[in-house]
Structure 1
Amino acid sequence: MAYPGYGGYGGQMPGMPPQGMPGGPMGGPMPGNMGGPMGGGPPQGGYAPYGSYPGTFGAQPPAANDPMWGYFTAIAGQDGEIDAEELQRCLTQAGFTGSYSPFSLDTCRIMIAMLDRDFTGKMGFSEFKELFSALNGWKQNFMMFDQDRSGTVEPHEMTQAISAMGYRISPQALNAILKRYNKGGRIFFDDYVACCVKLRALTDNFRRRDVMQQGSVTFQYDDFILCTMAI
């Protein structure tokens, strides 16, 4: 069944464009040969079902030969997890945004919150890999519209990007999104990613509660606050 808000179950899951960017964040290899595992993005169907990401539920120890493991441990430090400040430093040093402005600390916080299922405010290795896969896809989607590499897209292009990711949102909701994330009538890359993160996280939260796949759920007040304020 498909209904307004997000695509029907069993089809393309919302939150990602059809294909990811080849190679590392800048289209080439990352430190520690990160280009390999991050290349290609998710499959055509969008995000994998819950629990199918390696380590997401019932985490398995990372493979000793995983090219991203050494890079992750160098960033994560002794606690073995990455917080918002460490993620911001990682993305800046890796040159992920290229000619675009670096991600703000607030955007890094909500990127972690998207995958922070145990509410620690940090991310482990599997979430780190999952985030980079998502970021590669979102960046490719943004660059399709930002052909002059100005670092911004116009509102109608943002609407097209949201539609390309599989969301079906009412004009009123789209207008609210555009008002929230535009600066001077355009959407910058940092705000675009923040919007993508929030759309995916809120959709995931809704979807987990919509067990009957009917497009409607009942929230308790505290649960609603938890779902929305954490992102």
Structure 2
Amino acid sequence: MSGNYPHSPPPSSLHAGQYSQYPGQRQPSYPGRPPARQSAHSPIRPPHENSHEAQLLGLFRAVDQDGSGSISEIELRRALVNGDWTEFHPATTRLMIKLFDKDMSGTINFQEFKSLWNYLKQWKELFVRFDKDGSGSIDIYEFSEALRAFGYRLSPEFVNILFHNYDKRGTSIVMPGNGAVTFDMFIQSCVTLKTLTEVFKKYDEDRASKQPAPVTHC
């Protein structure tokens, strides 16, 4: 059964500018608005709620390291971080660019960035919901629970294989229960699973439409 979340996750209950933190994670604070330039490895952290549009623009400019007016894949990857402060996986960053680069420029402009930021906020809310222990990553049991909540009915064997593919530690099959899927891999795994489900569904529909009509007798 396909997941019951849409192309983007269900709308977040967070107000504009808010962002759920992992327990124990330090909340960076910006004086007023984020500085126009940060170091190449400064993580993105949403601003406080105060003129959300202006704050997002300040954040956008901080990520746009070369001042080109758009964010490249490299700039985005350097800025996005997981709960353990590791950078997003390159494949997940490319996925974000692909989903939100509406003008096909290969980069993210400010309007696209606003949509991307909202998308990440929604996914973060889902991730935190299933990260029961607040570790900043999801284990195989939390991952299975998330897929069930999305409406998938998958065998434990398939879930374990899927989890292993997106487990950066690479331990889920050898040592079940000790693996971990970070925020970036959680997004990538869910989007990939949804895409595969839609492909198989379309294949089944196309195959059914090509079946000969049953013969009826008068």
TM-score by length of 2: 0.59
Q: Is the 8 A contact 1:107 1:194 kept in 2?
A: yes
Say whether the 8 Å CA contact 1:84–1:108 is kept in structure 2: yes
Deviations 1:127-148 (A, max 9, x none): 2122222222222222233333
Residue number in structure 1 paired with 2:56 = 68
Deviation at 1:18, TM superposition (A): 5.8
* Equivalent residues of 2:20, 2:125 under 8 A apart: no
Which of 71, 74, 86 aligns to 1:101? It is 86
In the alignment, the residues of structure 2 paired with residue 38 and residue 98 of structure 1 have an alpha-carbon distance, to the nearest angstrom, of 26
- The Cα shift of 1:111 comes to 1.9
Q: 1:217 to 1:122 in 2, by over 3 A?
A: farther
The residue identity in structure 2 corresponding to 1:102 is E
Inter-CA distance 160–80: structure 2 relative to 1 (3 Å threshold) = same
Q: Distance in 1 between matches of 2:3 and 2:181?
A: 24
2:122 is matched with which residue: 131, 137, 146?
137
TM-score between both structures, scaled by the size of structure 1:
0.56
The match for 1:178 among 122, 146, 163 is 163
Alpha-carbon distance in 1 for matches of 2:51, 2:191? 18
- Check if 1:79 corresponds to 2:68: yes
Whether the aligned pair in 1 keeps the contact of 2:18 and 2:47 (CA below 8 Å) is yes
Following the alignment from structure 1 to structure 2, what is the Cα–Cα distance between the partners of residues 110 and 143?
21
Equivalent residue pairs, number: 175
Distance 1:163 1:72 in 2: 35
Superposed counterparts of 1:9-24, under 5 Å: 13=6, 15-17=8-10, 19-22=12-15, 23-24=17-18
Q: Show the 5 A alignment for 1:160-171.
A: 160-164=145-149, 166-168=150-152, 170-171=154-155
Identity %: 25
The answer for the alignment partner of 1:47 in structure 2 is: none
The alpha carbon displacement at 1:87 in A equals: 0.8
Q: Which amino acid aligns with 1:5?
A: S
- Aligned residue type for 1:87: L
Show CA shifts across 1:62-81 (max 9, x none): xxx64312321343344322
User: Based on CA coordinates, which of the two structures has the bigger radius of gyration?
Assistant: 2
Give the Å deviation of 1:181: 1.5
Report whether the alignment pairs 1:112 with 2:100.
no
- Distance apart, 1:163 and its partner CA: 3.8
- The corresponding residue for 2:77 is 88
Tell me the amino acid that sits aligned with residue 67 of structure 1.
Q
Q: What whole-Å deviation, never above 9, does each CA across 1:152-172 have from its counterpart, x for those lacking one?
A: 3222321222343x4536447
User: CA separation in 1, counterparts of 2:196 and 2:54?
Assistant: 30
Per-residue deviation, 1:86: 0.8
Task: Give the one of 27, 46, 49 matched to 1:36.
Answer: 49
Q: Distance in 1 between matches of 2:117 and 2:50?
A: 10
What displacement does 1:103 show?
1.7
38 and 20 in structure 1: CA distance in 2 versus 1, 3 angstrom threshold: farther
| Range that drifts further, 69-78 or 120-129 | 69-78
Cα offset for 1:126? 2.4
Q: 1:188 aligns with which of 176, 181, 185?
A: 181
- Cα deviation per residue 1:175-195 (whole Å; 9 max; x = unaligned)? 542232233112321321322
Cα distance in 1 for partners of 2:84, 2:48 equals 19
The answer as to whether partners of 1:116 and 1:123 remain within 8 angstroms in 2 is: yes
> RMSD of the alignment, in Å?
3.9
